[in-house]
Amino acid sequence: MRRRWIGISIALFSTILTLLFLEILLQIVAPFQFRPKRESVIFASQTYRLSRNKNILYELTPDSLALFKGIEFRVNSAGFRDKPYRILKGDKKRIIFVGDSLTYGWLIPLEDTYHKQLEKILQGRGYKVETMGMGVVGYNLIQEYFLIKERVTRFNPDLLVLQIGPNDFERTVKIKKTAIQDRLLLTPYHDFKIPYMFPKNGFTRFLMSQSHLFKFINLKLYWLRKKREEKFAPKDIFLMGEEAAFRYLDRIIDFSRNVKIPLAVVIFPFRNSDDHYVHATLHEKIARRLRRMKIPFLDLNKPLNSLMDRNIWVDGIHPNRDGMEIAARELADFIPPFLKQK
């Protein structure tokens, strides 16, 4: 019996040492900051430049212009894809929208973006209002925090609306610049979501957040399952940027309160292509955080994903003109109470 327990102990100790060795090895060779398989060059890339602020990384070049697929992408003097901005707002209520490619207007004309359609709807209802879209393709909550600190307050908005989406919680951006045809090309690098292939509970959440080996095993099992079953979709996922995203969301909230700018949040979903929307739990987490922080928000998951029979998407992330109109009309009912506040 004693020899048996000694053998079990040696086997267990050897297994632990092997796992620790694999864990350390994977942390060295696979830090889970993967490059896209293809060069992920931003379209209209000649309108971008590196930013002096290392936390923002890159930005739109003021007074630049590009045509892509017949669509004009014009950047104003403030460095955003929008109409020219004025410092003085007169008797109009000013709403500034800060976000990523959804606010920028991914492959759609400027007038089709949700904030420009919202402006027309509200003006048609008799409101004296103007909207400013400060969206940059690929931005996450970290970049948006520093953008808000640097550029929003000088325009004295009556309301700041933060547009967020699921990829804010799975994305870490790095920059690669390449000179092609005398242009500067910016290549975002992305952390990404890892499917849970084991039942999700407190123990597996801990392993997923702490162990590279456990992440690798989940990824390997997922890839093998996808080879056998192309339409396989995980029931839940681990978002690698979630902790940082929530931390900077809190910082944005604190900053808006310190400078006394009212803040609201609009949450855009990804397109739900099956019966299970894999980011649903993330929407719930965001909602809980915003309720606890007493920040009003509008979640567009249901309005945009309940219309499965309509073509409202450019792709699985960005709504087309019709999808943006749905978002604008939802916002047109959400925004007015803020316009009545002094």
**Residues 243-255: tens digit of each pLDDT:** 899 999 999 999 9
Q: Which domain holds residue 114?
A: 45-192+239-339
- Our separate counts of H helices and E strands in the chain read 11, 13
- Of 253, 248, 277, 254, give the one whose Cα is nearest residue 265: 253
Instruction: Specify whether the CB–CB gap between 33 and 174 falls below 8 A.
Output: yes
The lowest-confidence range among 50-54, 74-78, 123-127 is: 50-54
Average pLDDT of 304-319?
Answer: 87
Q: Is 108 helix (H, G, I), strand (E, B) or coil?
A: coil
| Alpha-carbon gap, residue 231 to 32, rounded angstroms | 24
Is residue 34 predicted with pLDDT exceeding 70?
A: no
Q: What percent of the chain has pLDDT over 70?
A: 87
The answer to whether residue 280 is domain-embedded is yes
Q: What percent of the chain has pLDDT over 90?
A: 57
The answer to whether residue 167 is domain-embedded is yes
The lowest-confidence range among 26-35, 116-125, 228-237, 272-281 is: 26-35
| Alpha-carbon gap, residue 158 to 342, rounded angstroms | 9
- Confidence tier at 28 by pLDDT (50, 70, 90): confident
Average pLDDT of 54-64?
Answer: 93
The answer to whether residue 303 is domain-embedded is yes
Q: Cα angle vertex 20, ends 17, 21, to 5°?
A: 85
Average pLDDT of 51-59?
Answer: 91
The lowest-confidence range among 6-20, 113-127, 159-173, 207-221 is: 6-20
**CATH number of the domain encompassing residue 318:** 3.40.50.1110
Is residue 133 predicted with pLDDT exceeding 90?
A: yes
- Confidence tier at 241 by pLDDT (50, 70, 90): confident
Average pLDDT of 89-110?
Answer: 95
- Confidence tier at 39 by pLDDT (50, 70, 90): low
The answer to whether residue 224 is domain-embedded is no
The answer to whether residue 169 is domain-embedded is yes
Is residue 182 predicted with pLDDT exceeding 60?
A: no
Average pLDDT of 322-333?
Answer: 97
Domain count, the chain: 1
Burial class (CB in 10 A: 0-12, 13-18, 19+), 221: middle
Average pLDDT of 156-185?
Answer: 78
Average pLDDT of 29-45?
Answer: 69
Average pLDDT of 257-265?
Answer: 97
pLDDT computed for residue 178 by the predictor: 60
pLDDT computed for residue 37 by the predictor: 58
The answer to whether residue 17 is domain-embedded is no
Average pLDDT of 33-60?
Answer: 80
> What is the chain's mean pLDDT, rounded?
88
The answer to whether residue 40 is domain-embedded is no
> How far is CA 285 from each of CA 149, 178, 243, 333, rounded to the nearest angstrom?
25, 38, 12, 24
Phi/psi of residue 68, each to 5°? Answer: -140, 120
pLDDT computed for residue 80 by the predictor: 97
Regarding predicted confidence, which is higher, 338 or 29? 338
Enumerate residues 6+ apart whose C-beta is below 8 A from 163.
Answer: 97, 98, 99, 100, 102, 103, 135, 265, 266, 268
pLDDT computed for residue 141 by the predictor: 95
The answer to whether residue 31 is domain-embedded is no
Quick: pLDDT tens for 267-277: 999 998 777 78
What is the 3 state secondary structure string of 154-179?
HHCCCEEEEEECHHHHCCCCCCCEEE
Regarding predicted confidence, which is higher, 20 or 223? 223
